[in-house]
Amino acid sequence: MDETTDPELTSWVDVPPGSHFPIQNLPFGVAARSDGKHFITSAIGNHVLDLSELERRGVFSTTPLAGKNVFQSASLNQFMALGRDSWKAVRATVSHLLQADNPAIRDNGELRESALVSASEVQMVMPVEIGDYTDFYSSKEHATNVGTMFRGADNALMPNWLHLPVAYHGRASSVVVSGTPIHRPSGQTLPEGAEAPQFGESRVLDFELEMGFFIGPPGELGEPISVSDAADHIFGMVLVNDWSARDIQKWEYQPLGPFLAKNFGTTISPWIVTMEALEPFSCAGPEQTPEPLPHLRSEGKRTFDIELEVQLSPEGSDATTISRGNFNTLYWDICQQLAHHTVTGCNVRTGDLLASGTISGSAPVSRGSMLELTWMGKEPLKLSDGEERKFLQDGDSVTMTGWCEGDGYRVGFGKCAGTILPANEV
């Protein structure tokens, strides 16, 4: 076991019960102070630790980061590119500084004042400069549900689905951080029974419960990354909401797949939870039948036991929990996804985001989209305030969260939230 994930570790910083950010987590993010200054940070309880300040004071001078000044940037890309040895060295240093018996920051009032900041005094911003974004379709239950709705149960899965991780290239420019509002998109749709399309705002707006991972060290053009080597290129994970306009998608997607139906906004959580923090919660994924071809065979515990939850809040009303699932239900794991993405020699770059696709389980409550939860609008959801929803309305807020449950502590991702605003005029 990595000593930084020891369940017995405690911090001199107060960590409230149920916090997503105990000393065993130590995620990475970028925060903005009230003066607009951005700084790279980690989270502990209800506080953030300014890693740029610690770097200026020489805290990382005995690590592989010595002299590199990677934390003086406004994004994590430089740090992410350094690789696992550097990530682990920084994690070990930060863990040591925050442990209950270490006085280095605890008893240094001036340093504690400058480096440890209340989370309520900062705003979390986009942590990574994202170059490319790929969205997979890796949940068998989700693919089966959607296929059943549109093609019937006998033809639910397409012939390729059990043989490779299906995906499409998304739009990185519209990936936004939690809290950013999303305007309802407009586009062409074909109303039921109509012979010609019409243009207007989407009437069938949806969320998609997903998780994503960021690329650290890049791949070289022409050189595939194998399943066994994939983990060395994965920096950490975030929650993802890949908003979806179902009516626009239904009309446009054949033969090339999603385009305008998904390019208007994708929300991620601001904290990147490292693979080291997730390692204690690794577990086996679903059995894969038929066995994948050799280049996609994944061995050992390649997925993680991450509880997931979605809440919907109409404007001015309380939240209703509408979905509860788990990341470990995904059929294709993240190492298989990365190996498949690069098998042609496609080069991934530091900061690239790869998302899982909608995560759904076998129970109705674990379905990860409104499309499934309401079965294409035929079974409306009843909310706590008495309202019903078939799909998202203007003013609705969707909040996703996820965590791993340890012995007396949680390693969590915080929140991935967004509110639907009315469509802009076209």
The catalytic residues are 142
- Distance from C-alpha of 145 to C-alpha of 161, rounded to nearest angstrom: 13
Task: Give the residue ranges of DSSP H helices in 30-152.
Answer: 51-56, 77-81, 84-98, 103-106, 109-115, 140-151
| C-alpha torsion sign, points 415, 419, 425, 426 | positive
DSSP letter string, 269-329: -S-BEEHHHHGGGEE-----SSPPPGGG---S--EE--EEEEEEE-TTS--EEEEEEEGGG
Contact 138, 334 (CB under 8 A): no
| C-alpha torsion sign, points 382, 383, 386, 388 | negative
Can you give 103-124 as a three-state secondary structure string? HHHHCCHHHHHHHEEEHHHCEE
| Cα dihedral 370→322→176→17 (10° resolution) | -160
